[in-house]
A and B are shown apart, each in its own frame.
Chain A
Amino acid sequence: MTSAPATRSRGARLRQRALFLGPGLAFTAVFVVAPVALVMSYTLFRRGRFGGVVHEVSLDNFIRAFEPVYRGVLVDSVVVAGLATVFAVLLGYPAAYAIAAMPARWRNLCLVLVLVPFWTNFLIRTYAWIVLLSGQGVINDALVSLGLVQERLTLINTRGAVVVGLLYTYLPLMILPVYASVARLDGELREAAGDLGAGRVRTFTDVTLPLSLPGVVTGCIFVFVPSMGNFVIPELLGGGKALMVGNLVRDQFLVARNWPFGATLALVMIVVLFLLFALQSVVARRFAVGR
């Protein structure tokens, strides 16, 4: 016999849940989930004569998105974001490892030092590279005044500048997860490897590297994803020379006012990211450490 209290407390529990979960979830549903769904639905529609959305279903946008021009930009985006990620690993992994190897006091100091630039406004950090790289910027000034070059170098408005800018902005996001991963490694594993005859290099490649891979993968995601969607850095540091997907989306939404097509480009970007996520989880599972 089910006693009455079960139903009474169930009613109370429902009210509790509604009170605590309701507002937050409703707000998120209305202002995050619904908007994304809405704008993704636009990929199927067409731009109206004066910039609105005409609700006629067609796949034109998808066909257009894969035209050479746009394909090229997409490939460029992957390449540029990819380069930034690769350099982030090359520079960030050793740095993170070094921090993990430090005594506690220095370790925390270094972590704070890595974070402080990150706390500075992103636009200002990008602007700093304008100051450094532009024709009248600091680097050119220094090179000229030291007599190392005759003509001022074109450093800004290049693809390289965009890579540097992205690397600069997101490097701390590589260092932190790699550090967390390396710091958690059981030192005894490395000692065991040494005991069994592995030299320092071997120990690194056989033990440390594979086990810290999840942290590296996390760092790669933290660098690659925002890099792909970025439009500020390609614009400010790349001029018109290094357009990325983010720029295209922004232009379609705010300049050309072709929201359906802009949404389609954004969707393509999301799909690419999703495929990379899938790849990442396959890799992660392969190297997974059972915990």
Chain B
Amino acid sequence: MSDPLLSIRGLRAAYGDVQALDGVSLDIADNEFFALLGPSGCGKTTLLRTLAGFETPTEGTVTLAGEDLLALPPHRRPVNMMFQSYALFPHLSVERNVGYGPARAGAPRAQIAQRVAEVLETVGLSGVAGRRPHELSGGQRQRVALARAIVNRPRVLLLDEPLSALDKRVRSQMQLELKRLQHEVGIAFVMVTHDQEEALSMADRIAVLDGGRIQQIATPEQLYRWPENRFVAEFIGESNLFSAADFDVDGSYVVVRPESVRLVEGAGLLRATVLETQFVGGTTTLVAEPRGPVTVSRAPVLVRHGGFPAVERGAEVGLAWDASDMVVLR
């Protein structure tokens, strides 16, 4: 990447015996929606908090627009965070919450009022300025937290599991809202999530982490179609993972996505017995027990296609796929 906004190199951090970050390096561009994705304990939150200034790494550098970010204490970094619990100050009104950052920076009162009004309108919350946090709904509180972070015009906005506290209905709305907002304000967003669907639908690029290490950094499509290792293949979407040797391919594993598997006449690449058929939302998913090469995790093979199920439970079928749909993992 030419001229990244945020440059992280060789970050290491430990909690007692546990190595939370084990040599993490990545670049983030300006105006990019970037996601840190992984299971709990993978280090993504530690990484986010290190950027905010609440964790200190034992090794490594972080540069923001050419300046050493780690040299600054949290209250002087041009970075703002939206906390998972929102962390709205309960004794201050919405207006004073959102105006907190500008007030600390010494902006004149009239200017603060104006900026607060503008940003509240941007997040769709004009009219609640006088209320206290406990008088607002969950969704409103989240918008206030967002407004409070954005009003300071940080170079980077950090979001810690922003949608986890919302109920399902509100969540999909907010996913679109956040995307729109990011485009509107033009700031780089760095979001931590454990939900891969969320990351895939919202982010421009995703870093998948596990065990304190980066497993792969790519766009959602690249992660889905061309996973680079077993962890990513199994974590992102659903996959059928086989030993490469079973199919005469040079490498460790091969991955085939359920949509790429077809039912064929005869033996195909693999014979299987259908265990279950599911028909949901116009799509059929077949769960089949393979005879012959088994999946690495011993899980059944998944087949997906549009339309109604063509076979019944118990049927013997032949499965095949194009070589180009098969991804080889080293």
* A3 closest partner in B (C-beta): B70
Taking a contact as CB atoms under 8 Å apart, the answer to whether A5 and B58 are in contact is: no
Main secondary structure of the interface of A (DSSP, over half): helix
Min CB–CB distance B112 → chain A (angstroms)? 27
Taking a contact as CB atoms under 8 Å apart, the answer to whether A1 and B59 are in contact is: yes
A to B contact number (C-beta, < 8 Å): 27
Taking a contact as CB atoms under 8 Å apart, the answer to whether A5 and B59 are in contact is: no
Q: How many residues of A contact B (CB 8 A)?
A: 9
Residue A285 at the chain B interface, CB threshold 8 Å: no
Query: Complex formed: what's the CA distance from A6 to B73 in Å?
Result: 10
Contacts of A90 in B (CB 8 A): none
Residue A12 at the chain B interface, CB threshold 8 Å: yes
Contacts of B57 in A (CB 8 A): 3
Interface residues of B in 19-40 (CB under 8 A from A): none
Min CB–CB distance A26 → chain B (angstroms)? 27
Query: Complex formed: what's the CA distance from A12 to B72 in Å?
Result: 12
Query: Complex formed: what's the CA distance from A54 to B72 in Å?
Result: 59
Taking a contact as CB atoms under 8 Å apart, the answer to whether A9 and B59 are in contact is: no
Query: Complex formed: what's the CA distance from A9 to B71 in Å?
Result: 9
Residue A4 at the chain B interface, CB threshold 8 Å: yes
* B72 closest partner in A (C-beta): A5
Residue A8 at the chain B interface, CB threshold 8 Å: yes
Contacts of B68 in A (CB 8 A): 3-5
Contacts of B84 in A (CB 8 A): none
Residue B56 at the chain A interface, CB threshold 8 Å: yes
Query: Complex formed: what's the CA distance from A4 to B60 in Å?
Result: 11
Taking a contact as CB atoms under 8 Å apart, the answer to whether A2 and B73 are in contact is: no
Taking a contact as CB atoms under 8 Å apart, the answer to whether A2 and B59 are in contact is: yes
Residue B216 at the chain A interface, CB threshold 8 Å: no
Among A4, A5, A9, the one with the most B-chain Cβ atoms within 10 Å of its Cβ is A5
Interface residues of B in 55-88 (CB under 8 A from A): 56-61, 68, 70-73
Interface residues of A in 1-47 (CB under 8 A from B): 1-6, 8-9, 12
Query: Complex formed: what's the CA distance from A2 to B60 in Å?
Result: 7
* A4 closest partner in B (C-beta): B71
Taking a contact as CB atoms under 8 Å apart, the answer to whether A8 and B73 are in contact is: yes
Query: Complex formed: what's the CA distance from A38 to B113 in Å?
Result: 61
Min CB–CB distance B288 → chain A (angstroms)? 45
Contacts of B71 in A (CB 8 A): 3-5, 8
Query: Complex formed: what's the CA distance from A5 to B73 in Å?
Result: 8
* B58 closest partner in A (C-beta): A2
Min CB–CB distance B197 → chain A (angstroms)? 36
Query: Complex formed: what's the CA distance from A234 to B289 in Å?
Result: 85
Contacts of A8 in B (CB 8 A): 71, 73
Taking a contact as CB atoms under 8 Å apart, the answer to whether A12 and B58 are in contact is: no
Min CB–CB distance B326 → chain A (angstroms)? 43
Taking a contact as CB atoms under 8 Å apart, the answer to whether B58 and A9 are in contact is: no
Contacts of B60 in A (CB 8 A): 1, 3
* B61 closest partner in A (C-beta): A3
Query: Complex formed: what's the CA distance from A165 to B58 in Å?
Result: 62
Among A3, A6, A8, the one with the most B-chain Cβ atoms within 10 Å of its Cβ is A3
Which residue numbers of A lie inside 8 Å of B, CB to CB? 1-6, 8-9, 12
Other than the known A3-B70, A5-B68, what 9 A-B pairs have Cβ atoms closer than 8 Å?
Answer: A1-B60, A1-B61, A3-B60, A3-B61, A3-B71, A4-B68, A5-B56, A9-B73, A12-B73
